[in-house]
Structure 1
Amino acid sequence: MDFSGAFSWVNIRFLLEGLWVTVQVAGISIVLSFIIGGLIGLVRFAKIPYLSKIVGLYVEVIRNLPLLLIIFFTYFALPQIGIRFDIFWSAIVALTIFESAMLSEIIRGGLNAVPNGQMEAARSTGLSYGQGLWYILIPQGLKKMLPPIVSQFIALIKDTSLAVIIALPEVTHHAKIIYGQSTNYVLPMFVAMTLLYFLVCYALSLVAKQLELRFK
């Protein structure tokens, strides 16, 4: 083991560059998957004829596929039908497809957990179905959704490491390059990756705790 050599400034800067890519990919994927997953969850909850069943089929298919397969499909298979993304956006598209399906079920479950009488009460006051959903059900359901949503976001951050298979220059990829220089760097790089992933995920969990307190 050679911690001093592994943690030279050049290597640390290289790792941080990879971490920045990880944060970018995770951040964009979180926003996109939350928006798409929210829409899918609302459609399934509303039980819109035909559309809800079609969306439900999409969710069931995606949830039962490994993320690695979706990453491969996005980067290697889509170009065969003329849809091309670079490595960065291939990772984002794959993560968004997978995580939006997961989040849609969390959101649908959170809305289903709100008593039916809440919507009935909202409609009796003159609110439309959409207004009752937005002003009554979603705020109540969000309290139940928040912990699993944050857990899913943390899982998404860790899942970015799977994109190393398509050579996304994120933190795991950069760590592999560094410990490829010397076997003495393997343990130091695993220690470094552990700390970096922990710090990012722990920071997100702290934000989540503050949000939970705010919504109580």
Structure 2
Amino acid sequence: MNVIFENFALYRDGFFKTLYICGYAMVGSLILGTILAGFRVSPVPPLRWIGTSWVNVFRNCPLTVVLFFCAFGLPEVGINGAYFWFSIVALVLYTSAFVCEAVRSGINSVPAGQAEAARAVGLTFGQSLTSIILPQAIRTVVPPLGSVIIAMIKNSAIVGAFGVGGELFAVSDTLTGSRGEAALPVLTGIVIAYLLITLPAGAFLGWLERKVAIAR
């Protein structure tokens, strides 16, 4: 355990860098996934095709391949940037497919009469979706969305292999590779750091689920 205390500053910086990656990826995934869920239930066939194709592609494609595509494929077509942002883009693209399906399941759980009543009073599809259906659907999708977010946090460990630098994967690589520290105590510190992210996140989502259940 001395390795953890002696390199506490390195662990701290890696923890916050990982937290930044997870925060950006979570917000982007929730926004994009919700938009795609709207596409999936849209009465416009091209939008439904886009939503369905997105889900089928990214849900059935390994995250590692998506990361390779963003980190090494995008620069070849003239899209350049730091690996930090490429990693976030990859996580958003991948996770949004799962968010989409979770939100779509919530939309489908809302009684059809709600949409029919919205149309009866003259609301457009977009207005009924954002004002009537989604507020009710979100309450039912907190548990599956929570599972998706926790999985995304754990998946963020993979991005370190693509040269992001400074996050928890890089910390373990630096300590075991460059400084020759023993792997077991180093990885123990990494596990503790991830638990400090996932356990509070899981507790918050559990509290939110109970609160929403009471509200229903």
TM-score clears 0.5: yes
Q: Compute the displacement of 1:125 (Å).
A: 4.6
Match of 2:209? 212
Confirm or deny: 8 A CA contact 1:75 1:84 kept in the other structure.
no
Confirm or deny: 8 A CA contact 1:41 1:105 kept in the other structure.
yes
30, 52, 62: which one aligns with 2:58 = 62
Q: Compute the displacement of 1:197 (Å).
A: 0.9
1:135 aligns with 2:131: yes
Match of 2:193? 196
2:128 & 2:210 partners in 1: Cα distance? Answer: 24
1:70 & 1:121 partners in 2: Cα distance? Answer: 41
Q: For residue 52 of structure 1, what is the amino acid of its counterpart?
A: R
6, 11, 15: which one aligns with 2:11 = 15
Match of 1:118? 114
Q: For residue 69 of structure 1, what is the amino acid of its counterpart?
A: V
2:5 & 2:109 partners in 1: Cα distance? Answer: 52
1:215 & 1:91 partners in 2: Cα distance? Answer: 32
Q: Compute the displacement of 1:103 (Å).
A: 0.8
Runs of 4+ aligned structure 1 residues displaced above 6 Å come to none
Q: For residue 154 of structure 1, what is the amino acid of its counterpart?
A: I
1:116 & 1:206 partners in 2: Cα distance? Answer: 33
Secondary structure of 1:7's partner? Answer: helix
Confirm or deny: 8 A CA contact 1:44 1:55 kept in the other structure.
yes
Match of 2:151? 155
How many residues are aligned here? 211
1:179 aligns with 2:176: yes
Q: For residue 78 of structure 2, what is the amino acid of its counterpart?
A: G
Q: 1:42-57 maps to which residues of 2 (within 5 A)?
A: 42-57=38-53
- Per mean C-alpha deviation after superposition, the further-off stretch among 31-40 and 125-134 is 125-134
Q: Deviations over 1:107-142 (max 9, x none)?
A: 111101222122223334554433332233212211
Shift in alpha-carbon separation, 1:127–1:51, aligned structure 2, 3 A: closer
TM-score after normalising by structure 2: 0.90
Match of 2:76? 80
Q: For residue 72 of structure 1, what is the amino acid of its counterpart?
A: F
Confirm or deny: 8 A CA contact 2:26 2:149 kept in the other structure.
yes
RMSD: 1.6
Q: Compute the displacement of 1:179 (Å).
A: 2.2
